[in-house]
Amino acid sequence: MKITYYGHSCFLIETAQAKLLFDPFINGNEFAKEVNIDSIEADYILVSHGHADHTGDLVYLAKRTGALVISSWEITQWLINQGVSNVHPMNVGGRRQFPFGEVSISFAAHSSSFPDGTYAGVAMGFILKNGGKTIYYSGDTGLFGDMKLLGELHSIDLALLPIGGNFTMDVEDAIIASKFLKCHTIIGLHYDTFGYIIIDREAAKSKFQESGIQLQLLKSGEEFTI
Burial class (CB in 10 A: 0-12, 13-18, 19+), 188: buried
Q: Which is nearer to Ni ion, 74 or 140 (CB)?
A: 140
Q: Which stretch binds Ni ion (CB under 5 A): 43-51, 58-66, 89-97, 188-196?
A: 43-51
* Partner from Ni ion, Mn ion, none contacting 43, C-beta within 5 to 8 A by type: none
Q: Which is nearer to Mn ion, 24 or 151 (CB)?
A: 24
Considering only residues 130-149, where is the footprint of Ni ion by CB under 5 A?
A: 140
Report the candidate in 222, 226, 174 with the shortest Cα–Cα distance to residue 197. 174
Report the distance separating Cα 3 and Cα 197, nearest Å: 23
Report the candidate in 165, 172, 160 with the shortest Cα–Cα distance to residue 218. 160
* Partner from Ni ion, Mn ion, none contacting 14, C-beta within 5 to 8 A by type: none
- Provide the sign of the torsion angle of the four alpha carbons 97, 99, 101, 103, taken in this order: negative
Q: Which stretch binds Mn ion (CB under 5 A): 23-31, 38-46, 50-58, 94-102?
A: 50-58
Residue 51-80 contact track with Ni ion, rule CB under 5 A, x = bound: x-----------------------------
Q: Which is nearer to Mn ion, 52 or 153 (CB)?
A: 52
Report the candidate in 108, 150, 112 with the shortest Cα–Cα distance to residue 128. 150
Which positions ≥6 away from 64 have C-beta within 8 Å? Answer: 38
Q: What is the DSSP letter of 209?
A: H
Q: Which is nearer to Mn ion, 43 or 53 (CB)?
A: 53
Report the candidate in 150, 162, 222, 160 with the shortest Cα–Cα distance to residue 191. 162
Q: Which stretch binds Mn ion (CB under 5 A): 60-68, 135-143, 198-206, 218-226?
A: 135-143
Q: Is 53 in the site for Mn ion (CB under 5 A)?
A: yes
3-state secondary structure 117-176: CCECCCCEEEEEEECCEEEEECCCCCCCCCHHHHHHHCCCCEEEEECECCCCCEHHHHHH
Minimum Å distance from CB 20 to Mn ion?
19
Q: Which stretch binds Mn ion (CB under 5 A): 61-69, 113-121, 132-140, 216-224?
A: 132-140
Considering only residues 6-25, where is the footprint of Ni ion by CB under 5 A?
A: none
Minimum Å distance from CB 108 to Ni ion?
9
Binding-site ranges for Ni ion (CB under 5 A)? 51, 140
Binding-site ranges for Mn ion (CB under 5 A)? 51, 53, 140
